[in-house]
């Protein structure tokens, strides 16, 4: 499909897509026609979008690219939630707004019923071959391998890649867009965090332990083994 895609969009798409602009264009290109010749209409993209599920993480996939840039944690790099100096929330800044705008646009290229997709609905739908692109944790890769259990028609056909990046990001310190191709690796998960109870008998020791076990070197060991 590269030739037809290039005729319409003027460039060769990457596999996997390197940024969310490519995700948008690929999703539009593959939306609304039978590109796998199974007699049914397919769509461009699918993801978790149901309220009160993991949909917030899907939004953060984009926020991480448009609201900051990669680098050691600081006020200007790898920081999307609060201004580190003032603790003002950043969710109303242009980077966040751009992320919301883009994920909202992707819904136009998604299957009917997308807003009812929790993690189970999305994964079952995706391995049924309903959409060209999807973004999720690795669980969908397990379901892909088991047609009998999950109805997968895409065994051995899925590719994987890191989160797409962006062609710009919002510099909230200087209040301006920076036009720069970049990609931010984002640990998109919640729940596995360290918390020190208010009633702790030794808050300082607990704090020192948390900072020790979560420093960059040990975090890398924790992630990679």
Is residue 136 within 8 A of residue 48, CB to CB? The reply is yes
Condensed to tens digits (0 to 9), the pLDDT of residues 182-216 reads 999 887 776 577 889 999 999 999 999 999 988 88
Q: What is the mean pLDDT of residues 114-132?
A: 96
Q: Residue 77 pLDDT > 70, yes or no?
A: yes
pLDDT value of residue 190: 63
Where do the structural domains in the chain lie, given as residue ranges? 2-186, 194-225
pLDDT value of residue 191: 57
pLDDT value of residue 224: 65
Q: Distance between CA atoms of 29 and 78, rounded to whole angstroms?
A: 32
CATH topology of domain 2-186: D-Maltodextrin-Binding Protein; domain 2 (3.40.190)
Instruction: Kindly report the pTM of this predicted structure.
Output: 0.83
Condensed to tens digits (0 to 9), the pLDDT of residues 135-164 reads 998 889 889 999 999 999 999 999 988 899
| Distance set, CA 109 to CA 3, 113, 131 (Å) | 21, 12, 9
Q: Residue 88 pLDDT > 80, yes or no?
A: yes
């Amino acid at each position: 499909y590269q030739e037809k895609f290039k005729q319409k969009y003027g460039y060769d798409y990457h596999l996997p897509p390197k940024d969310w602009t490519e995700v948008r264009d690929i999703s539009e290109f593959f939306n609304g026609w039978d590109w796998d010749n199974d007699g049914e209409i397919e769509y461009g993209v699918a993801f978790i979008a149901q309220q009160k599920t993991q949909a917030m993480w899907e939004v953060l996939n984009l926020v991480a690219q448009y609201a900051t840039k990669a680098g050691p944690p600081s006020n200007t790099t790898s920081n999307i939630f609060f201004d580190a100096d003032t603790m003002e929330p950043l969710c109303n800044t242009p980077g966040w707004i751009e992320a919301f705008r883009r994920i909202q646009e992707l819904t136009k290229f998604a299957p009917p019923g997308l807003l009812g997709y929790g993690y189970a609905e999305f994964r079952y739908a995706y391995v049924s071959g309903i959409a060209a692109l999807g973004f999720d944790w690795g669980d969908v890769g397990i379901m892909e391998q088991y047609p009998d259990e999950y109805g997968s028609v895409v065994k051995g056909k899925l590719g994987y890649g890191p989160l797409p990046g962006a062609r710009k990001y919002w510099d909230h310190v200087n209040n301006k867009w920076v036009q720069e191709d970049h990609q931010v690796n984002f640990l998109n998960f919640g729940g596995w965090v360290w918390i020190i109870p208010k009633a702790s008998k030794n808050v300082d020791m607990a704090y020192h332990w948390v900072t020790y076990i979560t420093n960059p070197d040990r975090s890398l060991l924790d992630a990679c083994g």
